[in-house]
C-alpha cells in the first residue's frame, strides 16, 4: 500500500492532486488543517494536509472487472467472453454507464460538501459551534469563518467562553480590522473629483445622485455632475432630469479629451462627481477605456460599486478585474436586496480596500450611509439590517 500526504488550499485541489498521483482508486485516510508559517495576514485561510493511500491489489482488481466479478461470486476462474454484444446493445450499455457515472459524480459532489461542513464543525470545540454557524448563516465563507474564530478564541478567557462572549470578541476583532475610507480635507482652489466605476446594474447613477444631492442640500457644497455613460441614453436622461430638478450643473463627455474641457467648467465647484458606464468584468477593453477617460483628470477618489445581491465568486472577480483602474475605495449597494452581509467580509479579506458608503433603495437623497467600523461589523454579524 502506498501512502502520501498532499497539501492544498481546498478539497477540490487535493482531490485533483490525489487523482493525478494515485488515480481514481485512492482512499482518503485523514484531513488536517494547518496555517502556513510566517504569514502576516491574520485572516489568511488555512491550508489542508490530506493523507491518501493506494491499495495496489485494488488497482489490479479494478483493471480487470471480470476477474473482480468472478471473485465476488466465488468463482476464481476467468475466461474472456467468446462473443461481443450487438452494436445496439453495446450502445445502450455505454449510455447506461454514462448515466450511472453522472449520478455517481453528483452524489460525490454532495458528499464532498457535506464532508467539508462536518470536518469544519467537527474540529471545533462545542462552545465555538454556534458562533461558527452564525457566521456561515450571515454569508461568511466557511474557511474564513473558521480562521476568524481561531483568531478570537484566545482573546476570551476560558471561564467565559460562551456564545455571547465569543460573538462580542468577533465584533471587536472586526471593528479593529475593517478598513473604512476617511474624508480628506478639501484642497483649496479646486474641486474634489470623485468617480464611480463598476459593472452594469449596481446602481452607480442612483448613488451618484444621492451623494451629490446630499452635498448640495445638507452640506451647502457646490456640486457638479459629469457623465461618461453615453452608451445608455436612459442613464444620461436620468441624470440630466435629476440635475435639472436639483439645480446641479451637468456636462456629458464623449471622448477622453472632452474630460479636460468639461472639468474646467467645474473649476469653482467644491466637488465634481463622475458617472461612468457599466462594464462586464470580462470586458477588459471596456474597463481600459474608462481608465483612458479618467486618467485625463486623475480623480481624487475612485469608488468601485459592488452589489451585495451578487454571489461571492462574482464579487471577487469584479474587484480583481476593475483593479486595472486605480480604485481606492469600495462602496456596497443594494443592501435592501439581501439579508446576509457576510460577502462584505469575504471581499475585504481578499482585497483590503477601504469602504466608503453602503446604499439601499432608490430614494434620493436618502437611503445611504457613510461606512463606519461599527456599522459594517454589525451588518456582517447580522446584528443589524438595512432597508
For the stretch 255-272, pLDDT in tens is: 999 999 999 999 999 999
pTM of the model: 0.68
Query: Rounded distance, CA 352 to CA 333, Å?
Result: 18
Query: How many Å separate Cα 315 from the centre of its chain?
Result: 4
Does the pLDDT at position 387 exceed 90? no
Domain boundaries, the chain: 1-36+43-52, 115-176, 190-379
C-alpha cell at 314: 462574482
* pLDDT per position as a tens digit, 195-246: 999 999 999 999 999 999 999 988 999 999 999 987 766 678 888 899 999 9
C-alpha cell at 139: 454569508
C-alpha cell at 356: 466608503
Answer positive or negative: Cα dihedral of 86, 92, 94, 97. Answer: negative
* pLDDT per position as a tens digit, 278-290: 999 999 999 999 9
How would you classify residue 295: left for phi > 0, otherwise alpha for psi between -120 and 50, otherwise beta? alpha
* pLDDT per position as a tens digit, 104-118: 666 555 544 444 444
Interval 31-51 mean pLDDT: 66
Asked if CATH classification 3.40.50.970 holds for the domain at 190-379, the reply, yes or no, is: no
CA atoms within 13 A of residue 278's CA, in its CB half-sphere: 17
CA atoms within 13 A of residue 322's CA, in its CB half-sphere: 29
pLDDT score recorded for residue 48: 80
The alpha carbons of the chain give a radius of gyration, in whole angstroms, of: 28
What per-residue string of b and e applies to 316-355 under the rule 16 or more CB within 10 Å gives b?
Answer: bbbbebbeebebebbbbbbbbebebbbbbbbbbbbbebeb
Amino acid at each position: 500500500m502506498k501512502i502520501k500526504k498532499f497539501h492544498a488550499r481546498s478539497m477540490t485541489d487535493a482531490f485533483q492532486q490525489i487523482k493525478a498521483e494515485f488515480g481514481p482508486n485512492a482512499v482518503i485516510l485523514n484531513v488536517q488543517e494547518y496555517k502556513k508559517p510566517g504569514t502576516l495576514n491574520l485572516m489568511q485561510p488555512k491550508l489542508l494536509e490530506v493523507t491518501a493511500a493506494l491499495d495496489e491489489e485494488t488497482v489490479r482488481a479494478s483493471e480487470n472487472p471480470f476477474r473482480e466479478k468472478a471473485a465476488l461470486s466465488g468463482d476464481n476462474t476467468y475466461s474472456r467472453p467468446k462473443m461481443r454484444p450487438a452494436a445496439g446493445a453495446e450502445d445502450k450499455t455505454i449510455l447506461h454507464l454514462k448515466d450511472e457515472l453522472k449520478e455517481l459524480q453528483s452524489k460525490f459532489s454532495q458528499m464532498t460538501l457535506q464532508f467539508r461542513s462536518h470536518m469544519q464543525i467537527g474540529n471545533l470545540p462545542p462552545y465555538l459551534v454556534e458562533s461558527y454557524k452564525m457566521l456561515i448563516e450571515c454569508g461568511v465563507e466557511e474557511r474564513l469563518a473558521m480562521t476568524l474564530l481561531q483568531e478570537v478564541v484566545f482573546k476570551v478567557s476560558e471561564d467565559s467562553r460562551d456564545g455571547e462572549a465569543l460573538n462580542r470578541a468577533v465584533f471587536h476583532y472586526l471593528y479593529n480590522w475593517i478598513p473604512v475610507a476617511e474624508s480628506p480635507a478639501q484642497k483649496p482652489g479646486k474641486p474634489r473629483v470623485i468617480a464611480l466605476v463598476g459593472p452594469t446594474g449596481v446602481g452607480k447613477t442612483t448613488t451618484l445622485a444621492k451623494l451629490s444631492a446630499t452635498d448640495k442640500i445638507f452640506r451647502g457644497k457646490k456640486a457638479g455632475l459629469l457623465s461618461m455613460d453615453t452608451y445608455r441614453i436612459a442613464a444620461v436622461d436620468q441624470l440630466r432630469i435629476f440635475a435639472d430638478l436639483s439645480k446641479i450643473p451637468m456636462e456629458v463627455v464623449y471622448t477622453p479629451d472632452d474630460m479636460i474641457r468639461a472639468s474646467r467648467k467645474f473649476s469653482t465647484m467644491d466637488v465634481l462627481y463622475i458617472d461612468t458606464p457599466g462594464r462586464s468584468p470580462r470586458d477588459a477593453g471596456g474597463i481600459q477605456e474608462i481608465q483612458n477617460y479618467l486618467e485625463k483628470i486623475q480623480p481624487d477618489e475612485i469608488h468601485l460599486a459592488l452589489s451585495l445581491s451578487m454571489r461571492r465568486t462574482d464579487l471577487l472577480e469584479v474587484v480583481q478585474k476593475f483593479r486595472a483602474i486605480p480604485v481606492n475605495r469600495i462602496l456596497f449597494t443594494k443592501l435592501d436586496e439581501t439579508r446576509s452581509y457576510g460577502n462584505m467580509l469575504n471581499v475585504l479579506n481578499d482585497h483590503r480596500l477601504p469602504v466608503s458608503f453602503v446604499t439601499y433603495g432608490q430614494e434620493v437623497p436618502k437611503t445611504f450611509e457613510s461606512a463606519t467600523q461599527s456599522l459594517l461589523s454589525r451588518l456582517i454579524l447580522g446584528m443589524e439590517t438595512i432597508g
